[in-house]
């Protein structure tokens, strides 16, 4: 090798992490670079967590409301069927029977809905 030849060594590092907060070492570096950055990152993570809880609670309430209305519809359909049978009107009992049975089948067989853990 003569004096004019140069050797270049390149080193590259990659760090990954998951979660709302960076590792403690990086967290301290953020604060050192920009005063107050750590507090801003914590506030951002807290707001994100609160937002997620609100969304999950709304989803749970929505599912419960849907189940209540489905149950009420099935009960109403069964009541119409019983009244039709009592008054000897068999053709009038077919549509509510279909509604009630399809509702029950949907409840027991299940639909392709997202679970809370997939959100």
What's the confidence (pLDDT) of residue 113?
A: 54
Nearest to 20 by CA among 52, 42, 5: 42
Given a contact cutoff of 8 angstroms between Cβ atoms, the answer to whether 78 and 49 are in contact is no
pTM over 0.85: no
Number of domains comprising the chain: 1
In the chain, the percentage of residues whose pLDDT exceeds 90 is 24
Top pLDDT among 84 and 57 is at: 57
Q: Does residue 63 sit within a domain?
A: yes
Query: Domain limits at 28?
Result: 24-111
Q: Does residue 69 sit within a domain?
A: yes
């Amino acid at each position: 090798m003569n004096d004019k030849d140069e050797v270049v060594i390149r080193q590259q590092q990659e760090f990954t992490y998951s979660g709302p907060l960076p590792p403690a070492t990086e967290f301290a570096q953020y604060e050192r670079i920009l005063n107050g950055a750590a507090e801003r990152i914590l506030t951002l993570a807290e707001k994100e967590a609160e937002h997620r809880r609100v969304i999950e609670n709304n989803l749970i309430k929505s599912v419960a409301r849907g189940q209540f209305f489905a149950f009420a519809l099935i009960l109403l359909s069964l009541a119409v069927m019983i009244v039709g049978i009592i008054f000897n009107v068999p053709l009038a009992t077919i549509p509510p029977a279909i509604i009630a049975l399809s509702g029950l089948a949907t409840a027991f067989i299940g639909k392709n809905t997202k679970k809370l853990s997939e959100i």
